[in-house]
A and B are shown apart, each in its own frame.
Chain A
Amino acid sequence: MKNKAFLSGNEAVAEGVRLASPHVIAAYPITPQTVVVERLAEMVEDGRLKSEFLHVESEHSALSACMGASSIGARTFTATSSQGLLYMAECLHYASGGRFPIVMMNANRSLALPWSIYGDHRDSLSQLDCGWIQIYVEDAQESLDMVIQSYAIAENLKVLTPVMINLDGFVLTHTYELVDIPQKDEVDKFLPPFETPYKMDLENPKNMGVSSSPSDNTEFKFQQHKAVLDAKEVIKEVDDSFRKAFGRGYGGLVDAYLCEDAEFIMVSLGSTTGTCRTVVDELRQEGWKAGVLKIRFMRPFPEEEIIEITKNAKAVGVIDRDISFGYEGTVFTNVNSALSKAGANVRSLNFIAGLGGRDISKESIREAFYDLREESRGISKKRVKFLSLGVSIDE
């Protein structure tokens, strides 16, 4: 029986959390994440969700409380955004180092200064190295489904790594779509209770969250790295079994659209991908061989997939809703690293767009494709270009 509802991205996340039934939810409000925790609070109030709901006084405490609960084997959830993500930055690294399989939703939002409540990826990409698995989802359905998948990935004993699900602030968090809500008993079957031997246990006491000396630290960090690499296979397995259980899947680390024969491929994260697909459809009608490669996981990074999918392309563009000041967009750096390691002889350009909530229009994406075509013809274009830039610059 299908159960469809008209939900925003935030509400879809809340439905996913309800279905995953965490023992403990600890969260602090921040725009544009608030609706997630409001819905969860309502579900706890009316009994649809049997979770302990902690009204913490900060994001640092939200994640710290999740770590405490996770350390005794409880399933946990929190949600944040932007300044809140940075306020918990210490705990982000602590949680991954402690191998706590926490699932967190992050509503992607710009970072102050200047203040902006609107979306871009500078918050989560600034924490790319915090050891979390990072997912970027595109629509409300994927948001709901990936909450459920995230617990299956995080709690896999080969992985035991926290997962951050990123939704574009407002564009996705506040946009309503028709969403299929799976049945609770089917989710319970897909996602059994979390069982781990690596917890504080009254019958079998443990010391956790230890200090290390130089003679051991590298081994801890190597295992942490290996766990995130091992997650690549687990992510695919979880998506396959999710498809079998619920009739839809997302293809694992990336989602390639019309890339098989594409000469020009645009790489994007999250909700920008939908606009890119529309532009690609139009360009295809005009005779272009264009495609879109959506990176779904920034960590573990889909190196092999990017190399394989772009191997016949003439030029690859990367849209970054982010800028690493003084260099280039972070997604671009990562994509180029993969391409250069493979010895790929493909040209690549970086398009900085959508900072602080600015719309990424079809026209600007089309402009980016034009640049790719010129670059492939040997007409050198700016390697890092700000799309729709409103200040004059010396060219």
Chain B
Amino acid sequence: MSKVRGTINAGNITDKEFFYGHKACAGCGGSIVVRLVLKVLGERTFTVIPAGCMSAVGFVYPQLCFANNAIISTFAGTASMLSGIAAGAKALGLKDYHVVGIAGDGGTADIGIQALSGAIDRGDKIIYICYDNEAYMNTGIQKSGLTPYGAKTTTTPAGDNIPGTLTQKKNMFEIVAAHGIDYAATASIGYIQDFINKIQKASQVDGTSYIHVFAPCPTGWGAPLDSAIDIAKEVVDCGLWYLAEYENNEYTLNKNPKKFTSVEEYLKKQSRFKHLTKEDIDRIIISRDKKWNLIRSKWSC
């Protein structure tokens, strides 16, 4: 458990590092998520990472990069392995610990969704973090269920006939909430304090919690290496991502921009969207506005 009482912030967060010496690409958003989650949860944390970038860069024997307990799960088995650890820890009578899983978008919204659903259904005392970089990056930028409309990936190439990805992002936050989960939130590494607050909140939930955090992948998105945080801020400011929470059967919007920044500006900075036409961008904006109308009319803002 973290020694800090009250709110953790940049001033009082521990100097200890729990994820270092790994081989992630320069500017990796996912590794920022892992680092931050573990700094907030502290050393008495069992960490499960499925097959994917973070296990590929952090667990190569004998260079093991986690200072706390950590294990790789099967790709589909993040949540079920978390459940097993939580059940085992309870049966063994362990005290004062966290059980956290950190999986990517494919590991969460596609192959891992069944096990995640089962864990939420049981109300297992686990924290599940989905770091969303909007494609299968470890295998080389293939489309996942969380790749947004229009994005070019190696399995949704943009050409004369198809403008990249044709599907919308699965709505994982609300899919998870629809289970009646104890706590769910969206976050972005562009809004670090908000993310820290949510990790802290999740750690205090007596049940299952889920945080879906937007975590850019400069390598896969064709963006400058130092841009992950800026992109992650901009996506919230332009309304293509939102910061929200679900608890006690209610949705709350945490940040309600009075005016959105330019969607086109956001898209054009990333080569995965470079091919989009004005019509494509208009379609994205229409879809954004529809979503925000729903959010603003139904959620407490």
- Residues of A whose CB lies within 8 Å of any CB of B are 23-24, 26, 50-52, 54-58, 60-62, 64-74, 76, 90-91, 94, 200-202, 205-213, 216
The reply to whether B72 and A68 contact each other, CB–CB distance below 8 Å, is no
The reply to whether B84 and A24 contact each other, CB–CB distance below 8 Å, is yes
Asked, given contacts A68-B82, A206-B69, whether A57 binds B117 with beta carbons under 8 Å apart, the answer is: yes
The reply to whether A201 and B84 contact each other, CB–CB distance below 8 Å, is no
Interface SS of chain A: mixed
Asked, given contacts A60-B77, A202-B94, whether A68 binds B118 with beta carbons under 8 Å apart, the answer is: no
- Which listed residue, A51, A62, A201, touches B91 by the CB 8 Å rule? A51
The answer for the CA separation of A201 and B89 in the assembled complex, in Å, is: 10
Is B240 part of the contact surface with A, judged by Cβ < 8 Å? no
Is B122 part of the contact surface with A, judged by Cβ < 8 Å? yes
* Chain B proximity of A50: nearest CB distance (Å): 8
The reply to whether B88 and A91 contact each other, CB–CB distance below 8 Å, is no
Residues of A within 8 A of B88 (CB): 23-24, 52, 68-74, 76
* Chain B proximity of A90: nearest CB distance (Å): 6
Please list 10 pairs of residues, one from A and one from B, whose beta carbons are closer than 8 Å in the complex, sorted by A's number: A52-B88, A54-B87, A61-B114, A64-B73, A64-B115, A69-B84, A90-B74, A200-B71, A207-B64, A210-B64
Most chain A CB within 10 A, of B68, B71, B90, is at B71
Within 8 A of A (CB), among B52-107: 55-56, 59-62, 64-74, 76-77, 79-92, 94, 96-97
Is B121 part of the contact surface with A, judged by Cβ < 8 Å? yes
* Chain B proximity of A232: nearest CB distance (Å): 28
The answer for the CA separation of A81 and B67 in the assembled complex, in Å, is: 39
Residues of B within 8 A of A69 (CB): 84-85, 87-88, 91
The answer for the CA separation of A50 and B92 in the assembled complex, in Å, is: 11
Is B46 part of the contact surface with A, judged by Cβ < 8 Å? yes
The 7 closest A-B pairs by CB, nearest first: A68-B84, A69-B88, A65-B84, A74-B88, A57-B118, A64-B77, A61-B80
The reply to whether B92 and A211 contact each other, CB–CB distance below 8 Å, is no
* Chain A proximity of B85: nearest CB distance (Å): 4
The answer for the CA separation of A207 and B83 in the assembled complex, in Å, is: 18
* Chain A proximity of B233: nearest CB distance (Å): 32
Residues of B within 8 A of A68 (CB): 48, 71, 73, 80-88
Kindly report which residue of chain B lies nearest to residue A23, judged by CB atoms. Answer: B91
The reply to whether B84 and A209 contact each other, CB–CB distance below 8 Å, is no
The reply to whether A202 and B72 contact each other, CB–CB distance below 8 Å, is no
Residues of B within 8 A of A58 (CB): 114-115, 118
6 further A-B pairs in the complex, CB-CB below 8 A; given A51-B91, A207-B66? A26-B87, A65-B80, A200-B46, A211-B61, A211-B72, A212-B61
The answer for the CA separation of A94 and B77 in the assembled complex, in Å, is: 11
Residues of A within 8 A of B71 (CB): 68, 71, 200, 207-209
The reply to whether A67 and B81 contact each other, CB–CB distance below 8 Å, is yes
The reply to whether A55 and B56 contact each other, CB–CB distance below 8 Å, is no
The answer for the CA separation of A202 and B94 in the assembled complex, in Å, is: 9
* Chain B proximity of A372: nearest CB distance (Å): 45
- Which listed residue, A94, A207, A212, touches B70 by the CB 8 Å rule? A207
Is B269 part of the contact surface with A, judged by Cβ < 8 Å? no
Kindly report which residue of chain A lies nearest to residue B91, judged by CB atoms. Answer: A23
The reply to whether B69 and A65 contact each other, CB–CB distance below 8 Å, is no
The answer for the CA separation of A224 and B83 in the assembled complex, in Å, is: 26
Is B110 part of the contact surface with A, judged by Cβ < 8 Å? no
The reply to whether B62 and A216 contact each other, CB–CB distance below 8 Å, is yes
Residues of B within 8 A of A65 (CB): 80-81, 83-84, 87
Is B174 part of the contact surface with A, judged by Cβ < 8 Å? no
* Chain A proximity of B179: nearest CB distance (Å): 12
Most chain A CB within 10 A, of B61, B76, B91, is at B91
Kindly report which residue of chain B lies nearest to residue A213, judged by CB atoms. Answer: B60
Most chain B CB within 10 A, of A54, A60, A65, A213, is at A65
The reply to whether A57 and B114 contact each other, CB–CB distance below 8 Å, is yes
Is B44 part of the contact surface with A, judged by Cβ < 8 Å? yes
Residues of A within 8 A of B65 (CB): 207
Residues of A within 8 A of B97 (CB): 202
The answer for the CA separation of A51 and B84 in the assembled complex, in Å, is: 12
The reply to whether A54 and B83 contact each other, CB–CB distance below 8 Å, is yes
* Chain A proximity of B220: nearest CB distance (Å): 20
The answer for the CA separation of A66 and B85 in the assembled complex, in Å, is: 8
Asked, given contacts A26-B84, A54-B83, A64-B84, whether A211 binds B59 with beta carbons under 8 Å apart, the answer is: yes
The reply to whether A61 and B73 contact each other, CB–CB distance below 8 Å, is no
The reply to whether A205 and B69 contact each other, CB–CB distance below 8 Å, is yes
The answer for the CA separation of A66 and B73 in the assembled complex, in Å, is: 12
Residues of A within 8 A of B76 (CB): 60, 64, 90
The reply to whether B92 and A210 contact each other, CB–CB distance below 8 Å, is no
Is B43 part of the contact surface with A, judged by Cβ < 8 Å? yes
Residues of B within 8 A of A62 (CB): 80
Asked, given contacts A51-B91, A54-B122, A72-B46, whether A211 binds B56 with beta carbons under 8 Å apart, the answer is: yes
The reply to whether B118 and A24 contact each other, CB–CB distance below 8 Å, is no
Most chain A CB within 10 A, of B62, B68, B87, B124, is at B87
* Chain B proximity of A256: nearest CB distance (Å): 40
The answer for the CA separation of A160 and B44 in the assembled complex, in Å, is: 26
The answer for the CA separation of A338 and B79 in the assembled complex, in Å, is: 43
The answer for the CA separation of A211 and B72 in the assembled complex, in Å, is: 8
The answer for the CA separation of A26 and B69 in the assembled complex, in Å, is: 22
- Which listed residue, B62, B69, B73, touches A200 by the CB 8 Å rule? B69
Most chain A CB within 10 A, of B46, B71, B84, is at B84
The answer for the CA separation of A65 and B74 in the assembled complex, in Å, is: 11
The reply to whether A208 and B70 contact each other, CB–CB distance below 8 Å, is yes
The reply to whether B77 and A56 contact each other, CB–CB distance below 8 Å, is no
